[in-house]
Structure 1
Amino acid sequence: MNKKEKRVEHLKKVLTAKNIVRERDLNAAIMTQKENSSVSLEEILLDRGLINQRQFDWIRQMTEIGRLERTLPLVIFIFVVIGVIVGKIFPNLVKAMDSMQIADIVSIPIAVCLFFMMFPIILQVDFSSIKNIFKFSKLVFTSSFIAWIVEPAVMFFLAWFFLKKVFASYFPAAVSSEYMAGIILVGIAPCTAMVLLWSYLARGDLGVTLLLTALNVILILIIYAPIANFLLGKADIHVPFMTIAICVFMYVGISLITGYITRKVLLNKKGKEWYNGKFIPVMKNFSSVALLITLIVIFSSKGELIIEMPATILIIATPILLEFFIIFSLAYIVMKKLKIKYEYAAPASIIAASNHFELGIATAVLMFGINSNPVLATVVVPLIEVPIMLGIVRICLRTRYRFLDGKKKTVNVRPTDGKLSSIGT
């Protein structure tokens, strides 16, 4: 049975189990699809009036999520392996990359990769939408409070509980504190990159997603360093405040400034249609490539340790894994209680639960060195984040009916064109 046949068989089971299409009609559509393989089964069902547009969109959405669940973790795993192999075969190259620093502070390879991860995201953000935070005060305050106050506190507590209490005898006290430092650094700021993808898959509102992303980029510049300095101190890791602040500016501030200027200039010269239709699709690829290259750079140095220390990696991953689901569940439930619409609640909850692991890794490399224990803790996040976030997206899609007073029916929430509308019921 090939991939297409497996997909049709799976779709048949789902549609019959949910009583969406009668088995007789479904079998007839399958026969037609076999005769004309250029047309998908759901297109035939839609054409015959056996499913409506909402059900068609749902099938396409779940198919895309299933494809990403199979491919994204595999792609990340492949590039992690490539990084390990590079580190093993070319140790001198790795040492050369480690030595490429500005004033012994900023890692040039990491800085370049992070710039090209952040820059395409900044290009998509309309910072003029920040003025809407007062119009959407309920949503913005809830998401920001959970993302910037609750999440760092929860991540700190979970890291302390597992590393200092549950597994206290497994590590020396100093090593536990260093692993805590890495976990803290990735748990402070919400993600500003892949949340656009997760929001799209969850049928979230693009306008709200970009509004929250714009706000979080600005908040990273303002409060990431103070929060990091405070929590690291509580973990018995004392780092000068200015060291963290310089790192944040180098890795985020430069991307923000250049992205904002580029967006403004190109929109004025080329127009919105060219900018969104031609320029942005090309730039999005840079972000993906930069992420994969970052994985190679990081795991060329840390990959061998991860292979040699599976128990340590599992212990580090435990608080991070729990934090994802605790924060998402809290944000999602609070959004429901506040009667915020699903298409706004889903991306806001996903953003609140996400981690800016790129910034966490970069900051850890800057403060402790690429071969340090804090960096080892930070690189655990990209290993587990993709399958976790895809799982959270599935939870959103399966529970979205609860935002219609608990009535289980199809919700017409498609990704929007980025225009903001009112929030509430």
Structure 2
Amino acid sequence: MSLASGPAPAVPAPGRLSTLDRFLPVWIGAAMAAGLLAGRWIPGLDVGLNAVTVDGISLPIAIGLLVMMYPVLAKVRYDRLGDVTRDRRLLWSSLLLNWVLGPALMFGLAWALLPDLPAYRTGLIVVGLARCIAMVVIWNDLACGDREAAAVLVALNSVFQVLAFGLLGWFYLAVLPGWLGLPQSDLAVSGWQIAKSVLIFLGIPLLAGYLTRRLGEKARGRDWYETRFLPKLGPVALYGLLFTIVVLFALQGAQITSRPLDVARIALPLLAYFALMWAGSYALGAALGLGYERTTTLAFTAAGNNFELAIAVAIATFGAASGQALAGVVGPLIEVPVLVGLVHVSLALRRRFTTVSR
């Protein structure tokens, strides 16, 4: 990264942004509040939402995430992915952050800050193992990161998630605690459960986005696709995000508002985790000279987590009413407002980068 060594890239003026973009933190706050109040005050809402599942996956959450991811993945220029895969610094940094440092950091924070709460501690360790493959694409897009790099890193995380999640769960919950003389626990998770999460939450919107761009450009050309079609499609992603947030908070509204002290204890290591992972990843990207767009992508893909998988695994292994499941649910409730804040931090830092052309 070059700091103050050349002309900074232009940052869109707030007045040029849509109302939805400019007031996004307000809409997200309203969605969180609406979900919490609905879950607390509408009898049976959480039961009804939980009942609408397909093979153990919440249909409302799945719909929200797919609607959120599709427009972002339709923006990706798939003919430029080769440029990203040739950037070994980016790929190796992402693998190191996601599959070595991230799980280790969450393990350390969980044991340091929740030594007396084994269920919550285990739930947080599971969250740390589930690397983000869904919501990260919209945080990256809002922060003006590299869309093509995000698509590649998310796909890379997906492959490693299928291969490494179960193994790392065994290591961090049984092997490493045993070496350190700490209490051990087990994690029952099948490879199919992980692969199913990847196929649904990444495979479907990725295929839809690719086909949309391929067919749209073939029919009307790239100029029409990017200047006429994408601007109309773009806001749909934020509508999907807001819908997902309302559903997530509604599902656990009663439990969260009735156990505020437990939520606060769980939130503390999560806040430390998101801040340390994002800041450390950002510093690493800057030190490697990746430029603003790819540094931003590296930071958000490393800081985010696959809460859909973490919650599903916690419920399947420990039960829906378990402390492990509650820790998994609190994960996105903390992640959403924190990463929205980090989007604004990232955009503020954008002025300090010199454009790196690739």
- TM-score scaled to structure 2, two decimals? 0.78
Is the 8 Å Cα contact of residues 69 and 387 (structure 1) preserved in structure 2? no
Q: Which of 270, 275, 278 is the matching residue for 1:325?
A: 275
Greater relative contact order structure (CA < 8 Å, 6+ sep):
2
Q: Secondary structure at the match of 2:228?
A: helix
SS at match of 1:160: helix
Q: Which runs of 5+ in 1 are unaligned?
A: 1-53, 201-205, 402-409, 414-419
Residue 234 of structure 2 aligns to a residue in which SS? helix
Bigger Cα Rg: 1
Q: What is the CA deviation profile of residues 356-386 of structure 1, one whole-angstrom value per residue up to 9, with x for unaligned ones?
A: 4554466458746765544432443444445
Alignment deviations for residues 31-63 of structure 1 (CA, whole Å, 9 cap, x no partner): xxxxxxxxxxxxxxxxxxxxxxx79957946x9
Distance 1:111 1:284 in 2: 19
2:206 is paired with a residue of what secondary structure? Answer: helix
- Kindly provide the amino acid, as one letter, of the partner of residue 307 in structure 1: T
The one of 180, 191, 200 aligned to 2:125: 180
Q: CA deviation at 1:346?
A: 3.5
Give the match for residue 210 of structure 2.
260
Please tell me the root mean square deviation across aligned C-alpha atoms, in Å.
Answer: 3.6
Query: Which residue number in structure 2 is paired with residue 232 of structure 1?
Result: 169
| Structure-2 separation of matches of 1:111 and 1:197 | 21
* Counterpart-to-counterpart distance in 2, 1:113 and 1:189: 11
Match of 2:300 among 348, 351, 362: 351
In the TM superposition, residue 395 of structure 1 has moved relative to its aligned partner by: 5.4
Conserved? CA contact 2:49–2:251, under 8 Å: no
In structure 2, the residue matched to 1:153 is 104
User: Matches of 2:155 and 2:329 in 1, distance apart?
Assistant: 24
Contact 2:129/2:168 (8 A) holds in 1: yes
Q: Give yes or no for contact 2:9–2:353 (8 Å, CA) kept in 1.
A: no
Task: Note the C-alpha offset of 1:230.
Answer: 2.4
**How far apart are the structure 1 equivalents of 2:9 and 2:189?**
53
Partner of 2:244: 294
Determine the C-alpha separation between the residues in 1 that align with 2:344 and 2:26. 19
In the other structure, the counterpart of 1:10 is none
Name the structure 2 match of 1:99: 51
Q: 1:147·1:351 contact (CA, 8 Å) conserved in 2?
A: no
Q: Residue 237 of structure 1: SS of its match in structure 2?
A: coil
Moved more, 145-154 or 252-261: 145-154
- Deviation (angstroms), 1:117: 1.4
Counterpart Cα distance in 1 of 2:104 and 2:133: 9
Q: Is the 8 A contact 1:186 1:378 kept in 2?
A: no
Q: TM-score, structure 1 length as denominator?
A: 0.67
3-state SS of 2:138 partner: coil
Asked if 1:421 corresponds to 2:333, the answer is no
Deviation, structure 1 residue 269: 0.9
Task: Tell me, in whole angstroms, the C-alpha distance in 1 between the residues paired with 2:74 and 2:49.
Answer: 28
Distance 1:389 1:97 in 2: 26
CA contact (8 A) 1:84 1:303 kept: yes
CA contact (8 A) 2:45 2:251 kept: no
**What displacement does 1:394 show?**
6.0
The answer on whether the counterparts of 1:357 and 1:381 sit within 8 Å (CA) in structure 2 is no
User: Structure 1 residue 355: deviation in Å?
Assistant: 0.4
Asked if the contact 2:69/2:134 (under 8 Å) is kept, the reply is no
How many residue pairs were aligned?
A: 337
* Counterpart position of 2:178: none
Q: CA deviation at 1:142?
A: 2.2
Q: How does 1:173-252 map to 2 (within 5 A)?
A: 173-185=118-130, 191-198=136-143, 200=144, 209-233=146-170, 234-235=172-173, 236-252=186-202
**Aligned twin of 1:25:** none
> Residues 301 and 248 of structure 1: is their aligned pair in 2 closer, same or farther, counting only changes over 3 Å?
same
| 1:382-423 deviation per Cα after TM superposition (whole angstroms, max 9, x unaligned) | 44445534654565567678xxxxxxxx7655xxxxxx833x
1:9-158 paired onto structure 2 within 5 Å: 60=13, 71-103=23-55, 105-158=56-109
Cα 1:110–1:124 shift into 2, 3 Å: same
State the AA in 2 paired with 1:343.
Y
Does 114-123 or 218-227 show the bigger shift? 218-227
Alpha-carbon spacing, 1:123–1:360, altered in 2? closer, same or farther (3 Å): same
**Deviation digits for residues 286-326 of structure 1 (CA, Å, limit 9, x no counterpart):** 22111211122222221122212222222222222222232
C-alpha separation in 2, matches of 1:342 and 1:56: 11
**1:228 counterpart SS class:** helix
Deviations 1:136-161 (A, max 9, x none): 22233324432343223322332233
Aligned to 1:48: none
Q: Which residue of 1 aligns with 2:220?
A: 270
- 1:219 maps to a residue whose letter is L
Structure 1 residues 324-376: Cα deviation after superposition (integer angstroms, max 9, x where no partner): 232233333333433x1542454244334430455446645874676554443
Instruction: Name the aligned partner's letter for residue 81 of structure 2.
Output: I
Deviation at 1:213, TM superposition (A): 0.9
- In 1, Cα distance between the equivalents of 2:315 and 2:70? 20
Is the 8 Å Cα contact of residues 360 and 378 (structure 1) preserved in structure 2? no
Q: Determine if contact 1:331/1:352 at 8 Å carries over to the other structure.
A: no
Q: Relative to 1, partners in 2 of residues 1:190 and 1:143: Cα closer, same or farther, differing over 3 Å?
A: farther
Q: Which runs of 5+ in 2 are unaligned?
A: 1-6, 174-185
